[in-house]
Amino acid sequence: MSSILVIPSIDIKDGKTVRVVKGIPELNCKNYGDDPVEMAMIWRAENAKCIHVVDFNNSHSHSHKNFQLIGEICESVIIPVEMGGGISNINDAKEALDLGIFRLVIGSLIIDNEKEFVKILDQFGPKKIAAAIDVRDNKIVIHGRSHITDLTPIDYSRHLKEIGVERLIVTDINRNGTMEGPNLKLSKNIAEETGLKITHSGGISGYSDLKKVQEASIFGIDSVIIGRALYENKFPCQKIWRVAEQGLFN
């Protein structure tokens, strides 16, 4: 059983850190501050090895108003920063990567314009580009998690493998930010069907759930994105996950 990488999430809307429940950004996170750069520095100080950033303005309205801020995050920490939200063409991808982003997570574009996505994948390579698998009721959702497609996650994931994707970020939207437990069955099934590298996201409520993800690492789940549970200090001792991880940024 391999070690898993725990990746704190910073969700940004209008330059502020927000709480996200079931894919919908809501109240500013008053309990732990609303400055994304400060939050990134805190996670780095607490020995995070990677940070996941979601740009909700770019995702919902293709606004780059948070890009300067995201660039500041990249400059403020010396660890990889991955970013998702609203990448709609190869110029967007280049601009985001020029900010210092280590890996882009792309979702809607793959369905809206697969040819453009393949251009991005070919130019920057599969280590720089991951695909988002956002799922609600066993269907892929896109466009800021607001549009439900007819695609099932297994069939869609198989197709992504065929076009050259190597890593998937798998999120059950119904569990996102709820701390009701992870839908590991979804991530495990995709991992087993595709053999791709899987980052699980959504539903983690504390250490017991983290252990379940750890046990699922044998299926190919090598990392987990955690937001609310970390911010709300739901782990008895958050030093549990502050262990150096090697070889997971590929």
CB 36 within 8 A of CB 227: no
Residue-level pLDDT at 32: 54
User: Reduced to 3 states, what is the DSSP secondary structure of residue 48?
Assistant: coil
Quick: pLDDT tens for 157-177.
Answer: 999 999 999 999 999 988 766
Task: For residue 155, give every residue at least 6 positions away whose Cβ sits within 8 Å of its Cβ, in sequence order, or none.
Answer: none
CA distances from 110 to 98, 164, 241 (A): 21, 12, 33
* Residue from 59, 60, 57 nearest 13 by CA: 57
- 14, 34, 112, 134: the catalytic one is 134
Task: For residue 123, give every residue at least 6 positions away whose Cβ sits within 8 Å of its Cβ, in sequence order, or none.
Answer: 90, 93
Q: What share of the chain is helix, strand, coil (3-state, %, to 5)?
A: 40, 25, 35
Residue-level pLDDT at 247: 46
Q: What is the pLDDT along the chain (250 residues), one digit of tens a residue?
A: 568 999 999 999 889 888 765 555 554 444 456 899 999 998 888 888 999 999 989 988 889 999 999 999 999 999 999 999 999 999 999 999 999 999 999 999 999 999 999 999 999 999 999 999 999 999 999 987 778 999 999 999 999 999 999 999 999 988 766 667 889 999 999 999 999 999 999 888 888 888 899 999 999 999 999 988 888 777 755 544 444 344 445 5
Residue-level pLDDT at 51: 97
- Is-catalytic flag, 134? yes
Report the 3 state secondary structure along 59-90: HHHCCCCCHHHHHHHHHHCCCCEEEECCCCCH
Adjacent-strand bridge partners of 109? none
CA distances from 71 to 78, 88, 129, 236 (A): 12, 19, 18, 33
Q: What is the pTM of this model?
A: 0.89
Domains for the chain: give ranges and CATH numbers.
5-241 (3.20.20.70)
CB 184 within 8 A of CB 219: no
CA 40 to chain centre: 15
What is the distance between the alpha carbons of residues 219 and 191, in angstroms, rounded to a whole number?
A: 6
Kindly state the tokens that stand for 70.
């995201």
- Is-catalytic flag, 55? no
- At which residue do the structure tokens 């704190």 appear? 8
Kindly state the tokens that stand for 86.
């609203």
